[in-house]
Amino acid sequence: MIKPHGSDTLNPLFVYDSSEHEELLHEAENLPSLIINSAAAGNAVMLGAGYFNPLTGYMNLADALSVAETMKTTDGLFWPTPVLCRSDDVEAIRDKKRIALRDPNVEEHPIMAVMDVEAIEEMSDAEMNLIAEKVYGTTDSEHPGVNTFMNDGRFIISGSIQVLSFSYFQSEFPDTFRTAVEIRNDIKERGWKKVVAFQTRNPMHLAHEELCHMAMDRLGCDGLVIHMLLGKLKPGDIPAPVRDAAIRKMVELYFKPNSAMVTGYGFDMLYAGPREAVLHAVFRQNMGATHFIIGRDHAGVGDYYGAFDAQTIFDDMVPAGALEIEIFRADHTAYSKKLDKVVMMRDAPDHSKEDFVLLSGTKVREMLGNGIAPPKEFSRPEVAQILMDYYQSIN
């Protein structure tokens, strides 16, 4: 099986030993505590689940700046985006060496982790702008990722953590949320050797489904891991439970048995385009995938990134050998009226735009909201029905 990033074995930061877990929870109740923001909570979940291997906790300012500028930590570890715990109010933990981190996304803010504080550092405006510019490619506050980053707090609290909770993800998505440890074990049990991962924050229409089949066929893969984001999205995106139901129905009806697993991870979307695509590749390697599909405008938003920037970054900025996972580069995929099947547009150079079934996201949402199923060349009817039910329930 493919090695995790940066180490020979996966080292998740979740405390699995029940007696140690209980002792830490008891200790944490008496420690100074900080209610962290949603981004830091997502980072804690990813650290606990092994997705952010080999990190041992939150980065300090020097590492955050180094990662932003060079995609390496100060000690040379390849890493594409800062992994931070930030706040605007650190009075309760100032000068404290050991603290409890509390969950912002669950009622009564239960303890998520215990942290050994290395430093509390204040970022300057120039440093915040530099990180935003390098990671997001812009400092425009209209960019949802930049907006979140600029408002998450000026103080960076760094240090190693022991994770005690996966927040609401295990309870709300018991059939879908999986740690990197669990996915690795599942891949091994299924006997898969070559595994391709597909990232999604949306329901999967016919083009997505066929893209996964194409990748599996062309790479000779034993299995597919559909890995959906379960954390916070931008307003207007379809809630995770609806996406989950739609994707499961598609896999049940249109994939061979034991060829695809539907899983999810607990993290908030960054909308960081190319940098986030590299982060996605890192944690897919950590969960055991040998290949990862990256399509047009992967992890992008608006017009902030070029259509294939998330692919070319692997040529321009990822050093040879930095990652073992391989990238499957996808073009826009759509139904060809000429060929009567879904194709990648680059594979049909003799086609004009009119030869494809193309619908905008706005048009599809409008149809679903009016109880009109998109054409079968765009969406499976069983998937469309689940989405129609959702859109009509909110209209």
Task: Report, as residue numbers or ranges, the catalytic residues.
Answer: 201-202
Query: Omega before 54 cis (within 30°)?
Result: yes
> CA distances (Å), 134 to each of 70, 73, 119, 130, 336, in order?
9, 14, 23, 6, 38
Question: What's the rounded Cα separation, in Å, for the pair 23 and 13?
Answer: 16
Question: What's the rounded Cα separation, in Å, for the pair 127 and 118?
Answer: 20
Residue 324 neighbours by CB distance under 10 Å: 12
Question: What's the rounded Cα separation, in Å, for the pair 269 and 149?
Answer: 12
CA nearest to 4, candidates 49, 44, 43, 53: 53
Burial of 239: CB neighbours in 10 Å, binned 0-12, 13-18, 19+: exposed
Torsion of CA 20, 21, 24, 25, to 10 degrees: -150
Question: What's the rounded Cα separation, in Å, for the pair 109 and 126?
Answer: 32
Cα torsion angle, 389, 390, 394, 395, sign: negative
